[in-house]
Amino acid sequence: MLKLLKRARQPSGRRAAVRSRAFSFHSHACVPLSLMAPAFALAAPVTTATAPGNSETPPDRRDADASAVQLAPVIVTSTSSPSARSPLDPDLPSTTATVTTDQSQYWNVVTAEDVLKYVPNLAVRKRFIGDVNSPIAVRGTSNSQTARGLVYADGLLLSNFLGNTFTFAPRWSMVFADNIERTDVIYGPYSALYPGNSIGATVAITTRMPQKFEADAHVQAFSQHFDLFGVNRSFNGTNSSATIGDKNGNLSWLIGVDHLENTGQPLQFATLAASNVPAKATDRPVTGAIFYNDQNNARTAVLGVTAEGIERTFQDQFKLKLAYDFTPTLQAGFTLGYWHQKYNSDTQSFLRDAAGNAVYSGLVNIGGYEYNVPAATFAPSQGSSENFLYGLSLKTRNATGWNAEAVASYFDITQSIARTANSGVPGNGPGTIAFGNGAGWKTFDLRTTWTPASATPGLAAHWLSFGYHYDDYFLDNETYNTAAWRDGGGASFANAFGGRTQTQAVYAQDAWRFLPRWKFTYGARYENWNAYDGSRAIGATSLAYSDVSQSHWSPKASLSVDATQDLLLRASIGRAYRFPTVGELFQGQITGLSIVNNNPNLKPEDDLSKELTAEWQHGDGVYRFTMFQDDVKNTLFSQTNTTVIPNITNFQNIDKVRSRGIETSYEGQDVLVHGLDITAGLAYTQSKIVANSGNPASVGKYFYRIPLWRANLAATWRATSQSAVTVAARYSGREYNTLTNTDTNPNTYGGTSTYTVVDAKFTFKPTKRTELGIGVDNLFDHRYYVFHPYAGRTVYVEGRIGI
């Protein structure tokens, strides 16, 4: 199939015929044409009359890139070919990596984000199975900068831009992992079609719709043994899902359910710096504390499991997708997604008195020295969340000429309740309740495109895109004191914060093939952003923030040349503005009875990204080499301003951060021997703070949590038509957990580790619609950390049956 793709790239008249034949091989691989123009994975394959493969393909477009400009679905030449370009961006002015179901079916995949684990120069901070705080990190964007990554599922926005930190990770839970057809990662902000949140990358998940009756059931069980700081036990979980769907005339439909429950390893431990104060006679003698050296190499006592603790999570998901073809070229789609979670986070004190009783607080004697354990150190928590995702679309699907579409979505957090005890003493004592009900976001997109019909070799042509975008993010958090933290009502008001942001944008982009081998893609995006209704309150003290508004233009340009029929060279440049989120602007901090303002006048991140790429198709593989540089002014980050007294820690603008690096990757099928498929990547990224008026000591230091090296390798050998073996590895190099790079002992709890993790899986398919699998992640049980410890060796067993 790669040979077909290679031939399809030739600027000759026979390309159309090659593509037409290729389309018939995998007609089920129909995917939405653009990120802003989804069918919510509801797109049925186009009819024979409108299929791009049945019309003349312009000879000056490269493979899927040609028909991608249309609003019609693009039929990818092969679902197993990672070299096929993403259909999501019609002009492809930047590097794109693709993971197909033919690859990920042989990996250990439980939730949607698992399909990204071997993508070049990208990592997902997933601490355990069921972790809802799993952001992506890519190139010069760290895993705490969640507002710098766009994630869509069939065009529906899953990115949670209510804040910009770990707890605002994408809502992966709205996607069934089993329903994913392909996932495209578009690096950088080089397309006018996407907002400035694409500074890191845009992740576009495409799911499939049935073309005939089908039903499927999938069950997984997993277990890890974890041993750290006195916790030595196994943690287990299960995941089960089922889907049913059909295509009846013009109506396609799919219904799915999923249930996951799991107990994660301890995520956070109670620690105190080693004391040099001699114990008093009144201090309570205790045993059980464990000592280690923290990330700054300081001697530290571990007192037990605290805060996020050992989390037990129960998650239920429901998905309904509908698509209706009014005519062969007009389709409507509807999506309903539902996700519900309950969790409880248990804590544990290691401290025991002479009688063996657990000790939770007070002045204690550990090894002859005095320690003061705060009452809330071992406070457990529990909570629940309920979310709905609604989507509507209407679009035309003409092979050439004009197309148009309208898309609306609404992510509604109908319930968000977090209950936390005030102390670790067992029982149902006093605590707090935090409500986040009613938060969410709305989006609306209009778009039109023009695709030329000419197929004359050498004739200049333009592929045009015009669009309008609207989004509205709203957040309202309230916290109350309660006499019974597990089930009591709010007794008295504690604090609250909230606000809204709204963005409207218009954009235009042109992909101009001005010579047979040359293409120039250029465009601009204009965005108007507003923040309003911001407020913060504690007790009887409240503060209303002033409304703010900004507007910016973001020009983009990319020049590419087919140096040979096998070699593509491309240079891209793009400016992007990432506007502040509600949480960054209005959340602030509370100290006693005073409110420390977050800065409601934060400037947007101003990024200038540049990229040089060479892609070479050779033999049965595709090689890529990329150099990139991102210069971001006014980087939004939570830091301590050391130039004022007292110091203030909140979200601030860092004057300038520069990230530059090199990426190489390889994708190949039947490498050396028949049935051996390999995907590999190696990247070096140097991200440094160039200017920071709020913390001058950080200038010249490496930026937060950007590893110098990342590497990945996944090799799958399809030994027979029924069995396959995968061996994979992930590597992440030295990175820093502080802006001043003072963490000299990173490979420990509280630090951010260098790590090499090996994964493996054996898959056996007795029949076409049944599957058995056994796998392991972190085969050698490497203990590594992202402040929290990652999961230990995790063993999977799974079974699938379908009709």
Q: What is the pLDDT of residues 9-45, one digit of tens each?
A: 333 332 333 223 222 223 333 333 333 333 333 333 3
Instruction: State the DSSP H helix or E strand holding residue 570, giving kind and residue range, or none if neither.
Output: strand 567-578
Q: What is the pLDDT of residues 231-288, one digit of tens each?
A: 999 999 999 999 999 999 999 999 999 999 999 999 999 999 999 999 999 999 999 9
- Structure confidence at residue 648 (pLDDT): 82
Three-state SS for 465?
strand
Averaged pLDDT, 159-181: 93
d(C-alpha 456, C-alpha 56), whole Å: 10
Q: Is residue 254 part of a domain?
A: yes
Separation of CA 97 from chain center: 14
211 φ/ψ sector (left φ>0, alpha ψ -120 to 50, else beta): alpha
d(C-alpha 378, C-alpha 308), whole Å: 10
Q: Is residue 228 part of a domain?
A: yes
- Structure confidence at residue 4 (pLDDT): 35
* Tokens standing for residue 703: 């930026």
Q: Is residue 280 part of a domain?
A: no
C-alpha closest to that of 158 among 134, 179, 187? 134
Better-scored residue on pLDDT, 29 or 293: 293
Q: Is residue 283 part of a domain?
A: no
**Total number of domains constituting the chain:** 1
Beta bridge pairs of residue 513: 461
Q: Is residue 284 part of a domain?
A: no
Amino acid at 788: H
- Structure confidence at residue 54 (pLDDT): 32
Averaged pLDDT, 295-315: 95
The 10 Å Cβ neighbour count of residue 411 is 24
Q: Is residue 150 part of a domain?
A: yes
What separation, in Å, do the N-terminal and C-terminal C-alpha atoms of the chain show? 28
Judge whether 699 and 676 are in contact, CB under 8 Å.
no
- Structure confidence at residue 543 (pLDDT): 83
Q: Where are the alpha helices (DSSP H) in 346-390?
A: none
Q: What is the pLDDT of residues 755-766, one digit of tens each?
A: 999 999 999 999
Instruction: State the DSSP H helix or E strand holding residue 128, giving kind and residue range, or none if neither.
Output: none
Q: Are strands 589-591 and 567-578 parallel, antiparallel or unpaired?
A: unpaired
Q: What is the DSSP letter of 791?
A: P
Judge whether 686 and 707 are in contact, CB under 8 Å.
no
Q: Are strands 518-538 and 541-544 parallel, antiparallel or unpaired?
A: antiparallel
pTM: 0.87
C-alpha closest to that of 184 among 111, 82, 112, 114? 82
* Tokens standing for residue 182: 């392909």
Q: What is the pLDDT of residues 207-236, one digit of tens each?
A: 999 999 999 999 999 999 999 998 999 999
Phi, psi of 153 (to 5 degrees): -120, 110
Averaged pLDDT, 525-551: 91
Q: Tell me, what CATH number does 140's domain have? A: 2.40.170.20
Q: What is the DSSP letter of 783?
A: -
Domain extent, residue 517, equals 2-275+290-802
Beta bridge pairs of residue 542: 537
Three-state SS for 173?
helix
* Tokens standing for residue 210: 């049935």
Q: What is the pLDDT of residues 56-79, one digit of tens each?
A: 333 333 333 333 332 322 222 222
C-alpha closest to that of 288 among 301, 298, 300, 273? 301
* Tokens standing for residue 553: 């233009």
Q: What is the pLDDT of residues 680-718, one digit of tens each?
A: 999 999 999 999 999 999 999 999 999 999 999 999 999
Would the pLDDT of 349 be above 70?
Answer: yes
- 3-state SS track over 187-217: ECCCCCCCCHHHHCEEEEEEECCCCCCEEEE
Rounded alpha-carbon distances, angstroms, from residue 500 to 71, 163, 460? 32, 11, 46
Q: Is residue 315 part of a domain?
A: yes
- Structure confidence at residue 539 (pLDDT): 83
Q: Is residue 282 part of a domain?
A: no
* Tokens standing for residue 675: 């049935």
